[in-house]
């Protein structure tokens, strides 16, 4: 078993290294391209710094959350009376299943406001380049892992689950760019930069589309797929207009607090927390 897991680690680790190296190369090319096109200005640099500063905060706590959830996965696995053997095919199956779980969790982060409160941070950048990929909230490190518990429950080895999550998260970095166009047949199966640009668009046609991480098949199956038809308007439907990392992190929590204060009942308060972003309680007609 240990030898098999080591082989899985080596193989997935190699793929992660290749994707990471490829992504860093793309990031350098992208920055040079933006310099050449004279797109780099004070405002853009400010937005890039906002994403990077948010990333720094997330990295400070990520290691703690990874250790915590890894420990939890192993503890939970002890109570599962069955296990799926570790080999190349079950590892591929685990990657596919973890990607599906990401899709479900990602949908929840868009449809349930208390989850959107932290996920909106990633969507708050009005620009779209590789620094946007870094705009990840530190709170995500303590919550998003919960979505992958079913992979342990069905019997996948916890370490293979962790490796699958690492591969999936690494894959997503290269998607955050405008310098790569559509990729033909590849787009039929895998998520591409074109599809992910749609996901970050605030245009009505693009809202709540293309949730996939590695595979776009889930979006195609469940009706959430959207082709890129025009250059998206990036950011939120209501832009936050700030590069202050503290405000970027907590502005949606402030908005939720304001809504909760004006709630007239527990039902309204609950709606503000679990209904989709933008939800408001229905106003009763006033009789004459």
Q: Domain limits of the chain?
A: 2-274
Residues 147 and 102 sit within 8 Å (Cβ to Cβ): yes
Which band of pLDDT confidence, cut at 50, 70 and 90, is reported for residue 97? very high
DSSP 283: P
Highest-confidence range of 4-8, 207-211, 238-242, by mean pLDDT? 207-211
Q: What is the mean pLDDT of residues 119-147?
A: 88
What is the residue-averaged pLDDT of the chain? 87
Q: Return all residues near 8 (Cβ < 8 A) that are at least 6 apart.
A: 86, 88, 91, 159, 160, 163
Which band of pLDDT confidence, cut at 50, 70 and 90, is reported for residue 285? very low
| Structure confidence by residue, pLDDT tens digits, 31-54 | 888 887 778 888 888 888 888 777
Tokens 């229905």 correspond to: 282
Task: Quote the distance between the C-alpha of residue 244 and its chain's center.
Answer: 21
On the question of pLDDT at 127 being above 60, the answer is: yes
Q: What is the pLDDT of residue 235?
A: 93
On the question of pLDDT at 287 being above 50, the answer is: no
Residues 144 and 105 sit within 8 Å (Cβ to Cβ): yes
Q: What is the mean pLDDT of residues 91-119?
A: 95
| Structure confidence by residue, pLDDT tens digits, 155-201 | 999 989 998 998 998 899 999 999 999 999 999 999 999 999 999 99
Beta bridge partners of 190: 215
Query: What pTM did the predictor assign?
Result: 0.88
Q: What is the pLDDT of residue 24?
A: 80
From the list 162, 132, 163, the residue with the least C-alpha distance to 49 is 132
Q: What is the mean pLDDT of residues 142-152?
A: 91
Tokens 């990401």 correspond to: 102
Which band of pLDDT confidence, cut at 50, 70 and 90, is reported for residue 286? very low
Helix (H, G, I), strand (E, B) or coil at 32: helix
């Amino acid at each position: 078993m240990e030898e098999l897991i080591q082989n899985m680690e080596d193989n997935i680790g190699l793929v992660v290294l290749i994707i990471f190296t490829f992504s860093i190369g793309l990031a350098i090319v992208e920055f040079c391209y933006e310099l050449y096109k004279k797109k780099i200005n004070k405002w853009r640099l400010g937005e890039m710094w906002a994403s990077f500063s948010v990333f720094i905060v997330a990295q400070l706590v990520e290691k703690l959350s990874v250790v915590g959830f890894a420990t939890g996965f192993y503890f939970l696995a002890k109570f599962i009376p069955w296990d799926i053997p570790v080999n190349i095919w079950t590892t591929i199956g685990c990657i596919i299943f973890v990607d599906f779980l990401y899709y479900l969790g990602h949908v929840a982060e868009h449809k349930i406001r208390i989850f959107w409160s932290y996920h909106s941070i990633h969507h708050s950048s009005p620009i779209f380049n590789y620094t946007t990929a870094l705009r990840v909230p530190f709170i995500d490190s303590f919550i998003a892992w919960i979505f992958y518990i079913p992979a342990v429950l069905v019997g996948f080895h916890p370490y293979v689950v962790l490796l699958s999550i690492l591969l999936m998260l690494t894959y997503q970095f290269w998607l955050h760019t405008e310098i790569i166009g559509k990729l033909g047949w590849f787009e039929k199966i895998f998520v591409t930069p074109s599809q992910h640009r749609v996901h970050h668009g605030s245009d009505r046609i693009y809202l709540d589309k293309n949730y996939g991480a590695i595979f776009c098949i889930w979006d195609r199956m469940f009706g959430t797929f959207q082709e890129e038809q025009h250059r998206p308007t990036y950011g939120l439907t209501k832009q936050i207009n700030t590069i202050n990392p503290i405000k970027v992190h907590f502005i949606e929590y402030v908005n939720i607090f304001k809504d909760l204060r004006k709630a007239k009942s527990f039902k309204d308060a609950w709606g503000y927390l679990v209904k989709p972003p933008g939800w408001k309680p229905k106003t009763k007609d006033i009789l004459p």
